[in-house]
Structure 1
Amino acid sequence: MRILGLSALYHDSAAALVEDGRIVACAQEERFTRKKHDAAFPENAIAYCLAEAGIGLAEVDFVVFYDKPFLKFERLLETYVAFAPKGFSSFKTAMPVWLKEKLFQKDLLAREFKRFAPGFDWMNKLLFAEHHLSHAASAFFPSPFEDAAVLTMDGVGEWTTTSLAMGSGNRLEIHKELHFPHSLGLLYSAFTYYTGFKVNSGEYKLMGLAPYGEPKYTSLILDNLIDLKEDGSFRLDQSYFDYCTGLHMTNQRFSALFGQPVRKADKDPLTQFHMDIAASIQEVTEIVVSKLCHGIKKETGARNLCLAGGVALNCVSNGKVLREGIFDNIWIQPAAGDAGGALGAALAGYHVFKSQPRSVTPGKDAMKGSYLGPVFGQADIEARLTAAGAKFTVMAEAEVTEATAQALAEEKAVGWMQGRMEFGPRALGGRSILGDPRSPTMQKLLNLKVKYRESFRPFAPSVLREDVADWFDLDGDSPYMLLVAPVAEKHRRAMTEDENKLFGIDKLNVPRSAIPAVTHVDYSARVQTVHADTNPRYHALISAFKARTGCGVVVNTSFNVRGEPIVCGPEDAFRCFMGSEIEVLVVGNCFLRKEEQDPALKLDYKNAFELD
């Protein structure tokens, strides 16, 4: 049985194909259209998934959409009625779009599918899963657990913002829910908006900014904005927010509470105040998630926990839950946001709707390292690079590995495109920019000259799985870069008295460990463990780098510049290479040096994309 899952028409459209319970392919539409967070019908992602399986749409048994539009419309209407007459301008903006398009999504989807297959039987083949069931299915069914509690947290689905599901074998049932407008995801997004970052993409920035501040406003938030119960359930005081009825996340009362207006990203600098705000909402998030997890453990007695939904991408919070030891095991869906809902919808269709059996391999998840996107053969790579005007040397695989390791040891910024593209927001060694973590200037160089983004944003270490406990206070798997752990004490550098007096961004330039490029100001790091069985080529590269330097860690950041989707094909990689200050590009067995390229092909990527 083949089931195609879709998420679309809100943000982060994606498609996923499941065949007899096995995940065949998953991809986000933005990677093909080159439009960040593309919400359009994912025709390119669907075409890729079908091609990967070697089938046409007619050979798909069911198509499952990741939420229920009528329930979402009901929530919209009820919210406007509850707050009327406030919010009429927002209502007037939203209604025409709903009445024209979103309310009739089943017809819209059917029309789109008929372009793939004119005889598509949409009356019988098109199914709809609820949003948080899709999230829960994406977390539980690929997990390595036969039984687990499943916690999903995001902004909002139809009505639900937080849910507890229980999974066992091929069964998955939602047990409890928190409903809109009470949402941890929307609370975090409100602070994202307040500090001048873009909602639905700038939440990473807020998390990255938090360690530069002090959580001075935690009590103010807990005393005024959120009524938090001991079991983690909560209610938000809507008198401070504008997301129910307005076109903004917060209102004047919110700004008055903290004593400053909303920061305008294009005019106002980031100050210590904004760093303290970031630290405070991050601490509140960690408190809420911890209480939710303790409450779930007390209620269910579950040994295993699965996480999904946008809040599950908060790797700092995830790391805290892991260190608290609430559950024996934790597994987080790498595409935890809405894109992953496409996979969850497909898996829910197979296991929940059609009651098909599930096979579990203890200790090993079913995500294949999240390398579920397109792959390009060597001949195809060479043809595409040649057509783009690239100058390259073709090497044997072992020679490429050694040459790349040498470039990293020389502190060069390396674009690395190998194998299948990752599914989800993290680059995991398939579409990555790499660097030497020992360099005290690498973080600043990559941010300002390669990624063209804020200097404070952190980079992740990719570490050989067998070496992780030597470098970090973590002795387990973190293949999807979704856990933050402290750098091991033996690798830390003690701060001088003067260095300890520094505040804010001034802390950035002080090396804190033997791997300063991936060590945050609080001695933490967002760890990716690299496994020889899921990515042998990346594992071999880090091993070769270790052989040269004694360091089994490299800097890993996504292969893109600020505001651009992660690269998909060789042409994307070459354009990014020529539009940034990446010095070496490695695509398959093709090795490219910047100084050998035609200067006429250089691009200005610095201002090519919108702020993310």
Structure 2
Amino acid sequence: MSEFVLGISAYYHDAAACLVGKGKIWAAAQEERFTRKKFDESFPEQAIRYCLSEAGITLSEVKAVVFYDKPLLKFERLLETYYQNAPAGFSSFQASMPIWLKDKLFLKTTLQKAFKEMDPEAAPPLYFSEHHLSHAASTFYASAFEEAAVLTIDGVGEWATAGIYHGRGTQLKSVVEMKFPDSVGLLYTSFTYFLGFRVNSGEYKLMGLAPYGRPEQAQKLTKKLEKELVILYDDGSLTLHQPYFQYATGLRMIHEKKWEQLWGFPVRSSSEPLNQNHADLALAIQLFTEEVVLRMAKTAKKLTGSKNLCLAGGVALNCVATGKLENCGIFEKIYTQPASGDAGGALGAALAFSHLYLNHPRLKNNGYDALQGSYLGPSFSEKEIENALLQSSFQFNYIADLDQLVDHTASQLAEGKIVGWFQGRMEWGPRALGNRSILADPRSSKMQSILNLKTKHREDFRPFAPAIPLEYKAAYFENASPSPYMTTTTLLRAEHRLPVAEHFAQADINTKLQTPKSNLPAITHSDFSARVQTVTPDTNERFWKLLQAFGKKTGTPVLVNTSFNVNEEPIVATPADALRCFKSTEIDMLVLGNFVVSKP
């Protein structure tokens, strides 16, 4: 009897597939990486085909397919919300119902048809997991904890917007939930919308903008927020003042005129320059969100008594909030699943079914987790890479010896070159973890601007993450804990900072951007924080060796590590993707496996 379980997420955003079985995660990938359509929500056919190929099985050999949420419960929530708020929301009702009646309400039939088209001989049993259970399972069962509190926070699933679970062994039980329309995720997304960023994807930009806000002004705005928009309770639950919002019944997130009157300036268009008002408001909602997360964590501790915490859901990707949570000492150990958004629901759906329904034992882990460094995507042979190079117009060299390869790459980085680094299996999750990365020297005062404007083609305020061997983290950063997935931020140690004006925190956005803040300026944010990735030879020997080689040449074993893509494009998946990105940007050198490509 097959032990393989296929989890999928689709039809909202971030469609993905994941295959688990025989005690491990075989593969996981988002559909966008194959279709090259950012946030692709379609049926994840290519991701599914990849996952099956990684295990060497066909669809007919899968014991079950598990979808990451329950469409009928979500439909119930929509109908009940429209009914309670009628006649408000009729235009939204008119817009959404045809889609639901045509596709989403009969999702089981839609999925079965899609699988039949993939393989006419296969008819795997189809099951549905609850949305927040999928989130909870994705982090608890992937962690190395035998017992833990689990906190899931996002916009909304079927009804739940946040949940506390208690995991023990293969069991995972719901303790308490917060329900729609009250949601810290939807509140944060409302500010994302008001400040001109894209809903369901621009939240990380809002988080990156927040440190440019002025604390005193932001605290005043936070008080105004709590007075007008939301009531926050001691346990972390909240009530949103619905007249300010339209996400429940309208076609937009907020009532724009009310928000403009409240904050004193209009909704920002995406093309409009950012000013200090935008940064102050970004900091206000960030501070509020951090307080919500802390209160929810304290409640989880109180209700479960656990010393461990697992996090998932879109809000769990707010690495500043999770960094504050890690530093406050409520829990001894905290684990955040790196694909915590809806894509991660595919992983959680498969794991929930495996453990709760099939009673399979827990996954093998390396002492930290079972994700194998999150390298769960496709890899490519030397022959496949060479064929892609031969079809391109680039000249290339082959360096067989790994030590020579990393030494040459480290020399180029030390000279200020920007390097595209394409190695091994693609990462699972939204962040570069050393296999599909753009790398650069963090000591350069100009590198952040060069990478943002000329390479990534994105806003100049956006920070970059440092990668560092785990054994050196304590020498550079205040928190020495492992952080292999960049899921938390920590402060740069004082000895690496440069002196700034006494009231620097209150400086405006332009002053903060232009002021040198450390001897690693390319990875130091305006509040001296960094979203650190720690690297070990156990999970990524090549990347670890490169960091060591760069350290020997420069005295600094730290590199800028940002995802190998340009703004609004998915991270590269194939050698051909990498070559296209290399050609269209100011990346100076590309390392594809052991092949080195340079521009004339």
Q: Shorter-chain TM-score: what band?
A: over 0.9
1:42 match: 44
| Residue-by-residue CA offset, 1:181-216 (whole Å, 9 max, x unaligned) | 111110000000000000011101100000000224
Structure 1 CA distance for aligned equivalents of residues 299 and 349 of structure 2: 27
1:308 match: 312
2:530 pairs with 1:525: yes
Structure 1 pair 514–227 and aligned structure 2 pair: CA distance change class (3 A): same
C-alpha displacement of 1:108: 0.6
Structure 2 CA distance for aligned equivalents of residues 548 and 265 of structure 1: 42
C-alpha displacement of 1:509: 2.2
C-alpha displacement of 1:255: 2.2
Is the contact made by 1:499 and 1:510 (CA closer than 8 Å) also made in structure 2? no
1:593 match: 598
Gaps of 5+ in 2: none
- 1:458 aligned to which of 463, 467, 471: 463
Structure 2 CA distance for aligned equivalents of residues 549 and 127 of structure 1: 54
| Residue-by-residue CA offset, 1:267-294 (whole Å, 9 max, x unaligned) | x321100000000000000000001111
Structure 2 CA distance for aligned equivalents of residues 65 and 404 of structure 1: 43
1:72 match: 74
Structure 1 pair 497–355 and aligned structure 2 pair: CA distance change class (3 A): closer
Structure 1 CA distance for aligned equivalents of residues 514 and 571 of structure 2: 27
| Residue-by-residue CA offset, 1:13-59 (whole Å, 9 max, x unaligned) | 00000012310000000000000000000000000001111111011
Give the TM-score normalised by structure 2. 0.97
The 5 A counterparts of 1:44-59 are 44-59=46-61
> In structure 2, what residue type is equivalent to 1:575?
R
Structure 1 CA distance for aligned equivalents of residues 595 and 503 of structure 2: 47
SS of 1:196's equivalent?
coil
The 5 A counterparts of 1:188-587 are 188-214=188-214, 215=218, 216-251=220-255, 252-266=257-271, 268-359=272-363, 361=365, 363-396=367-400, 397-496=402-501, 502-587=507-592
2:150 pairs with 1:150: yes
Structure 1 CA distance for aligned equivalents of residues 365 and 374 of structure 2: 16
| Residue-by-residue CA offset, 1:347-384 (whole Å, 9 max, x unaligned) | 01100121222156473210111010000111110111
SS of 1:6's equivalent?
strand
Structure 2 CA distance for aligned equivalents of residues 525 and 493 of structure 1: 15
Structure 2 CA distance for aligned equivalents of residues 559 and 361 of structure 1: 28
Is the contact made by 1:456 and 1:505 (CA closer than 8 Å) also made in structure 2? no
Structure 1 CA distance for aligned equivalents of residues 186 and 533 of structure 2: 27
- Identity across matched positions, percent: 55
Structure 1 pair 222–497 and aligned structure 2 pair: CA distance change class (3 A): closer
Structure 1 CA distance for aligned equivalents of residues 122 and 80 of structure 2: 35
Is the contact made by 2:24 and 2:363 (CA closer than 8 Å) also made in structure 1? no
Is the contact made by 1:482 and 1:526 (CA closer than 8 Å) also made in structure 2? yes
Give the TM-score normalised by structure 1. 0.95
2:171 pairs with 1:166: no
> In structure 2, what residue type is equivalent to 1:218?
T
SS of 2:185's equivalent?
helix
Structure 2 CA distance for aligned equivalents of residues 456 and 359 of structure 1: 40
SS of 1:165's equivalent?
strand
Structure 1 stretch 386-395 or stretch 352-361: which is displaced more?
A: 352-361
C-alpha displacement of 1:500: 7.0
C-alpha displacement of 1:226: 1.5
2:63 match: 61
Structure 1 CA distance for aligned equivalents of residues 148 and 60 of structure 2: 35
Is the contact made by 1:471 and 1:487 (CA closer than 8 Å) also made in structure 2? yes
Structure 1 CA distance for aligned equivalents of residues 192 and 486 of structure 2: 22
Is the contact made by 1:289 and 1:317 (CA closer than 8 Å) also made in structure 2? yes
Q: How many residues align?
A: 592
Q: CA RMSD in A?
A: 1.2
SS of 2:527's equivalent?
coil
Is the contact made by 1:145 and 1:360 (CA closer than 8 Å) also made in structure 2? no
Structure 1 stretch 567-576 or stretch 215-224: which is displaced more?
A: 215-224
SS of 2:7's equivalent?
strand
Is the contact made by 1:145 and 1:362 (CA closer than 8 Å) also made in structure 2? no
Structure 2 CA distance for aligned equivalents of residues 303 and 277 of structure 1: 34
Structure 1 stretch 360-369 or stretch 169-178: which is displaced more?
A: 360-369
Structure 1 pair 108–406 and aligned structure 2 pair: CA distance change class (3 A): same
